[in-house]
Amino acid sequence: MSAPRIVVCGGGLAGIAAACEAVGLGAQVTLVERRPFLGGRAFSFTDEEGRQLDNGQHVFLGCCPAYVRLMRLLGTDGHLHRQPLLRIPVLGSDGTTALLAATSRLPSPLHLTKALATYSHLSLRERAAVARAMSKLGTLGPRRRARLDGMAFSDWLADNGQSEDAIERFWDLVVLPTCNDRSHRVSAALAAFVFTEGMLSSPTASAVGWSRVPLSQLVEPAVERFLTARGSRVLRGQAVIEAGPGGVRLGDGTELGADGVILALPAERTRQVASAALPEDPGLGHSPIVNVHLFHDRRILEDPFVAVLDSPLQWVFDRRQMSGAPGEPHVVVSISGAHAEMGVPRAELAESMADELARVIPAAREAKLRGWAVVKEARATFAPAPGQAARRPGPRTALERVALAGAWTATGWPATMEGAIRSGIRAAREVMGDAPPGTSIRPAISSRA
Ligand SMILES: Cc1cc2nc3c(=O)[nH]c(=O)nc-3n(C[C@H](O)[C@H](O)[C@H](O)COP(=O)(O)OP(=O)(O)OC[C@H]3O[C@@H](n4cnc5c(N)ncnc54)[C@H](O)[C@@H]3O)c2cc1C
């Protein structure tokens, strides 16, 4: 029996995962990507000075096994680094630092007790209230959590005894980078998922991980090598303009026949190429992220990264330390939910972030800024607003053997690399139906959980 031909549209992480999973299930895959490179919203590029920069700092957590498994399958997991346990230095506007660090020996949720008890950016009363709300989140369970989707997380927090300071200095510290907006614009169900999966599910769930190398190096040329070795292929720089159950048509007129099609595209593109697969605009909207890369003449951070309270800096990453390689000092200010920053000219943003760094980090006052680059991603993620769950479709469409994938689909996760990869795996299983498992790679990523 010949292998089913599957076309995967979109070479972001969802499409890459779908392609690898389908190959593992016995398919012959063509992965089609509009841009000349794979990786989608998680990519790196070379700037005018010849530096390799990520479009935005990407981190993953200990609760993201599919991401690590995909990189292992591609043979690039050696470039990943992960903290053994959560450890975040949090700088306050008064110049003090509180360490949010999990302790290893205690079972969840006790592994966070010390971190909360010593979190000096809140009063003792506020810390006790945070601990109570955390333990309530831990008892909600998926069904009760899902019922909170219509509510803003800030309202849930206020109903559960959280002060405005606690929301800003503790809850939003986590909600902003994971959901890509502040609690008042975030679905309580989505934020509750983040805290239960990412902080409470196990002592290592919240450990932060990152790539030591520029993001594109995780997938280029590994994906192509992986697929071609298994009788499949990658087409870059080719846009799908029409897709349906029998295959797809590309921008240059080429038609690719297929036994199954996976649409791993942004929602708006999905509707353009196959409106029958997504008849209504899901109306999810977008939330922006701005990354400001700064190159000083010396190292300015002691830690690989810090969170900064009461400041537009939000989170600052020392890419040099994170890469573990020698080279020019390089920090990245990563601003989530960056609605206001999108309209600010790049040079102004770079200057104001450098000034702000000098204000809050003593070592930055002595340092000279040698260069900068600003990346604005207007459509970085879907908007995590209340009501998001009902707007996110599952993999199945009205078209036979045409499935949807993408971080924006109904994964239960915020717009993350992990969510994208899970959606791709699920879509591959959907189009492959009860196809016998292939012999070329075994086991596929899904079964390596
Ligand atoms: C600045 C920034 C920072 C982020 N930080 C984090 C983080 O720290 N941790 C985390 O987990 N997530 C983070 N994310 C989110 C994460 O990058 C995304 O959720 C994930 O990469 C989305 O993958 P995807 O495959 O679903 O979609 P996409 O990456 O959007 O992939 C879709 C692909 O389809 C292609 N395409 C579009 N139209 C066509 C067409 N007609 N034909 C063929 N191909 C087409 C696109 O070029 C693209 O490659 C961040 C995102 C950004 C932008």
Q: In CATH, what number is assigned to the domain containing residue 116?
A: 1.10.405
Domain stop point among 367, 382, 397 = 382
Task: Decide if 352 is inside a domain.
Answer: yes
Residue 43 and residue 402 in contact, taking contact as beta carbons nearer than 8 Å: no
Task: For residues 306 and 372, state if they share a domain.
Answer: yes
> How, if at all, do strands 233-235 and 28-32 pair?
parallel
Ligand 1 atom index nearest CA of 55:
1
Same domain, 392 and 345: no
Pocket test residue of 256, 417, 421, 426 for ligand 1, highest count of atoms within 8 A of CB: 417
* Residue among 21, 37, 38, 41 whose CB has most ligand 1 atoms within 8 A, to mutate: 41
Query: Is residue 39 predicted with pLDDT exceeding 60?
Result: yes
Quick check: is 261 in a domain?
yes
Say yes or no to pLDDT of 448 above 60. no
- pLDDT of 155: 98
**Quick check: 98 and 119 in contact, CB under 8 A?**
yes
Q: How far is CA 286 from the centre of its chain?
A: 14
Taking 3-state DSSP, the helix, strand and coil percentages for the chain, each rounded to the nearest 5, stand at: 35, 20, 40
DSSP 187: B
Asked if residue 370 has pLDDT above 60, the reply is: yes
| 303 and 362, same domain (yes or no) | yes
Q: Are residues 166 and 295 in the same domain?
A: no
pLDDT higher than threshold 90 for residue 106:
no
Last residue of a domain, one of 205, 238, 269: 205
Report CA(41)–ligand 1 centroid distance (Å). 3
pLDDT of residue 441: 39
Whole-number average pLDDT of the chain: 95
Any domain includes 76? no
Ligand 1 centroid–CA 417 distance in Å is 8
3-state secondary structure of 88: strand
Residues 6+ apart with CB under 8 A from 143: none
Cα of 39 to ligand 1 centre, how many Å?
7
Residue nearest to atom 10 of ligand 1 (CA): 416
Query: What kind and span of H or E run contains 145?
Result: helix 124-146
pLDDT computed for residue 443 by the predictor: 47
Radius of gyration of the chain (CA): 22
| pLDDT recorded at residue 273 | 98
Specify the ligand 1 atom closest to the Cα of 290.
1
Q: Tell me the pLDDT tens digit for each residue of 58-75.
A: 999 999 999 999 999 999
The answer on pLDDT for 375 being more than 90 is yes
Instruction: Give CA–CA dist 28/23, Å, rounded.
Output: 6
Residue 439 pLDDT exceeds 70: no
pLDDT value at 308 more than 60: yes
* Spacing of C-alpha 426 from chain mean position: 18
- Residues within a 6 A CB radius of ligand 1: 9-15, 32-35, 40-42, 55-56, 58-60, 239-240, 264-266, 269, 273, 289, 291, 377, 380-381, 406-407, 415-418, 420
> Could you tell me the distance, in angstroms and rounded to a whole number, from the CA of residue 408 to the centre of ligand 1?
10
Does residue 63 fall inside a structural domain?
no
Residue 445, pLDDT above cutoff 70: no
- On whether both 412 and 363 belong to a single domain, the answer is no
Tell me what the mean pLDDT of segment 383-389 comes to. Answer: 98
Q: Which atom from ligand 1 is nearest to the alpha carbon of 239?
A: 42
Residue whose token pair is 């966070």: 112
The predicted model gives 90-105 an average pLDDT of 90
pLDDT at residue 169, as a whole number: 97
CATH number at residue 392: 3.50.50.60
d(CA 359, CA 316): 14
- 59 Cα–ligand 1 center, Å: 14
Kindly indicate the confidence band of residue 108, based on its pLDDT and cuts at 50, 70 and 90.
confident
Spatial separation of the C-alpha atoms in residues 329 and 233, rounded to whole Å: 38
Domains contained in the chain, number: 3
Are 273 and 318 in a shared domain? no
Residue 102 has pLDDT above 70, yes or no: yes
Same domain, 143 and 220: no
The pLDDT value recorded for residue 254 is 98
pLDDT in tens, 130-180: 999 999 999 999 999 999 999 999 999 999 999 999 999 999 999 999 999
Q: Which comes out higher in pLDDT, residue 437 or 191? A: 191
Q: Is residue 86 part of a domain?
A: no
Full residue range of the structural domain in which residue 348 is found: 286-382
Domain end point (choices 339, 357, 382): 382
Is pLDDT at 435 greater than 60 in this prediction? no
Residue 96 lies in a domain: no
Residue 230 has pLDDT above 90, yes or no: yes
Return the best residue to mutate from 54, 59, 265 for the ligand 1 pocket (most ligand atoms within 8 A of CB).
265
**Residue 317, CB half-sphere, CA atoms under 13 Å: how many?**
23
Is there a domain that residue 62 lies in?
Answer: no
